Amino acid sequence: MQTYDRLVTVFGGSGFVGRHIVRALAKRGFRIRVAVRRPDLAGHLQPLGMVGQIHAVQANLRYPDSVRQAVAGAEIVINCVGILYETGRQKFDSVQARGAATVARAAAEAGARLIHISAIGADAESESIYARTKAAGEAAVLQEVPDAVILRPSIVFGPEDDFFNRFAGMAQMSPVLPLVGGGETKFQPVFVGDVAEAVMAAVDGRTTPGAVYELGGPAVKSFRDLMEFVLATTQRKRLLVPLSFGLATLQAKFLQLLPKPLLTEDQVELLRHDNVVGAAAKAEGRTLDGLGIHAQSVEAVVPTYLWRFRRQGQFTAPVA
């Protein structure tokens, strides 16, 4: 009988990436404490493990005491908290910079190993607040826990993603899809399950302490490529309209006022730069390939959940 005597605390474990990490940990027999702001909304995690294996606790990165209590007794701490846009009290600095420092400090005090999820494009000199705070979070993590492992994924895709699902939804309603900056920005989309496997490699000690790994899928694609793929997969014909960065920024000033923004000025800034695995990470083996993980492609995974955006859903006739 499994004893589940090894405890891992996962911050943000109820989110898109976090739930896949929780599932991977559960399969390996860990006892998992999921630290979230609203434990009452984390019930969907329970079926991922055995009875009593997964336990949600309340923790808020703005309150260090709650973070310390969530970390107490854990052997490993995994921080996958992040936001794509700011709302109310959820600010980039408080979540991705100071919040990351709070988790790292608590892990250091508890003597726990730390795995931190960041993002490709983290840059202290960036014009994007998102990218700057990601970089600040990494720096704080390594200052508090020098042997922490940092994982930087590109755009993460999977059944609950906020990229392919969002644009497929837009294609249902709108006759056009905008190509910010002409659609030339390059991405290296990575499957959420592969990100979880990279976390497991760090959990198993197969990563270099203090190293930063960049996680990308098997192919680099432009923004235009991805939009064409969405339309082909959902079997819809829409106009792809190039939109200059200046005009996109102007539109974002209004779109970012929506409860769930379709586009923000900060996101436009991010689109000015490619989001792919760097040459240094490739050369040093700090990638999925370097960890022995065979990355899943967009073509193999995304159609398995975008079919619901076709006119007749699963009953739509396949296209050769």
Determine, yes or no, domain membership for 294.
no
Phi, psi of 47 (to 5 degrees): -70, -10
- What pLDDT is attached to residue 87? 87
Determine, yes or no, domain membership for 153.
no
Pair of tokens at residue 254:
């209004």
- What pLDDT is attached to residue 320? 58
Mean pLDDT in each 10-residue stretch from start to end of the chain (320 residues)?
78 96 97 96 94 96 97 97 90 96 98 98 96 98 98 97 95 94 97 98 97 98 98 96 96 91 94 97 97 97 95 77
The answer to whether the CB of 127 falls within 8 A of the CB of 269 is yes
Our count of domains for the chain comes to 1
**Calpha distance 154→278 (Å, rounded):** 11
Q: Is 310 left (phi over 0), alpha (psi -120 to 50) or beta?
A: beta
* Residue the block writes with tokens 């703005």: 62
Determine, yes or no, domain membership for 235.
no
What is the domain range of residue 56? 7-147
Amino acid 117 reads I
**Calpha distance 302→167 (Å, rounded):** 12
- What pLDDT is attached to residue 267? 96
**Calpha distance 198→153 (Å, rounded):** 10
**Calpha distance 198→209 (Å, rounded):** 14
- What pLDDT is attached to residue 1? 39
First vs last C-alpha separation in the chain? 50
The overall longest dimension of the chain from CA atoms, in Å, is: 61
Is residue 256 packed enough to be buried (19+ CB in 10 Å), middle (13-18) or exposed (0-12)?
middle
SS3 279: helix
- CATH number of the structural domain spanning residue 48: 3.40.50.720
Which run of H or of E encompasses 151? strand 149-153
Determine, yes or no, domain membership for 225.
no
Q: Give the global pTM.
A: 0.95
Is residue 21 packed enough to be buried (19+ CB in 10 Å), middle (13-18) or exposed (0-12)?
buried
**Calpha distance 317→312 (Å, rounded):** 8
**What are 11's strand-pairing partners?**
35, 79
Determine, yes or no, domain membership for 278.
no
The answer to whether the CB of 82 falls within 8 A of the CB of 117 is yes
Pair of tokens at residue 180:
């910010």
Determine, yes or no, domain membership for 180.
no
Q: Are strands 221-222 and 186-187 parallel, antiparallel or unpaired?
A: antiparallel
- What pLDDT is attached to residue 271? 96
The answer to whether the CB of 5 falls within 8 A of the CB of 181 is no
Determine, yes or no, domain membership for 296.
no
Determine, yes or no, domain membership for 213.
no
